[in-house]
Amino acid sequence: MAASPPHQILLVYTVALLDRLLSPAHEHLSPEATADDRHNTSTEMIAAAKTLIATMGLSPADLAEATSAALTTATFAEYVPKALKAATPSSARTWRIYLNILADEWPDRRLDEPTPIEIANLVIKVQERSILRKASRGGHGARANFIDAVRFLYRCALADKVLAPTDSPLPNVRRPPKRKSLRRALTSKQLAEINEAAATTGRDTALDCLVIRLHTEMTCRRGGAIALRPCDLEPSQLTVRLREKGSIVRDQPVSPTLMAGLLSHVEHRSPNGDPTAPLFVRANSYPLDNNYYQNLWKRIGGHLPWVKNLGVTAHWLRYTTLTWVERNFGYAVAAGYAGHIPVGSRAGNTLTCVAATLEERLFRGTPVRAAAA
């Protein structure tokens, strides 16, 4: 039953009264009291509480409802901006889109109001609304990201105690199982075509070629390249310090050619710059960002239709080199080169990058094909 303001006051008074009436029952129990003594006392306390609540025309459910209503005061429009401030920058960029959908869909609703069924229906709507590309796998990624954002929002609400645990839909909102990635290692011919397109198209081909070389040789992620600084270069040791997702910091070996290219870029683009500023600087003096990568691969895809059709990005270059490393030097070296944590199940991430390629399955999948090759 919904509790009116006077009724709320009565419920609060009831809880306080119960505490005062029942506290003496605890006091007479010594530390040496037996389990039976404590059980009997607990039974008496419960019976007394039920009797008192019943004489006031209330039920235990009314007390739980009043406690929940007292906790839950934030609406989606109010709480989404607060939750986003608690997310890491990379997570905030991804989740902001989906949390804003919640705020737009239910701006004035309290966090405890939507049911698991309503959230499931909104998940389906987000999946159907997502841009379907050949590499999008039917909006599966949008669905998983939306559920991650919802779960993050409710975890924040529980931590801030603006939501009672019994009112959280989290136990009934499950992430879909992860699907196998469509990424795979590129062939030598495909890699050569990408490098040629980067070198012969665009307004800043010097930077484009250097970025492609960096991802191919170092197998770093996009975020790691964007975060690079001049002070991360160690020419004497031929290493570059990477800072990637999960706050992982690692030193990656590079060739003398790539190191020379990076030093030359710093010299020409920021000769008197801050050593802690972004290393990669575009011709317009702006640092590298996510828009740069989107435009780079959009342009390359315009010249190479297969790049657009497959949805090739810099991460495909990572898969390509890691596959080569694993085939020639073994799984342990590939895991280290990828920067994967070599403990628990995380080491298995390397298997995703070095799975059998299409060409390997084509020519080595059967004895007949192997013999023909």
CATH of the domain at 355: 1.10.443.10
Residue 235's domain spans which residues? Answer: 188-362
Q: What is the pLDDT of residue 345?
A: 46
pLDDT, one tens digit per residue, over 171-200 is: 877 777 776 777 889 999 999 999 999 999
> How many whole angstroms separate alpha carbon 74 and alpha carbon 161?
11
> How many whole angstroms separate alpha carbon 160 and alpha carbon 229?
37
Q: What is the pLDDT of residue 373?
A: 41
Our count of domains for the chain comes to 3
| pLDDT band (50, 70, 90) for residue 272 | confident
Identify which of 185, 195, 206 has the alpha carbon closest to the alpha carbon of residue 300: 195
Are residues 304 and 193 in contact, defined by beta-carbon separation less than 8 angstroms? yes
* 64 and 84 part of one domain: no
**What does the block give as tokens for 26?**
């605890």
Q: What is the pLDDT of residue 7?
A: 52
Sign of CA dihedral 224, 230, 235, 237: negative
Cβ atoms within 10 A of the Cβ of 109, count? 14
* 23 and 139 part of one domain: no
Residue type at 188 in one-letter notation: S
* 205 and 295 part of one domain: yes
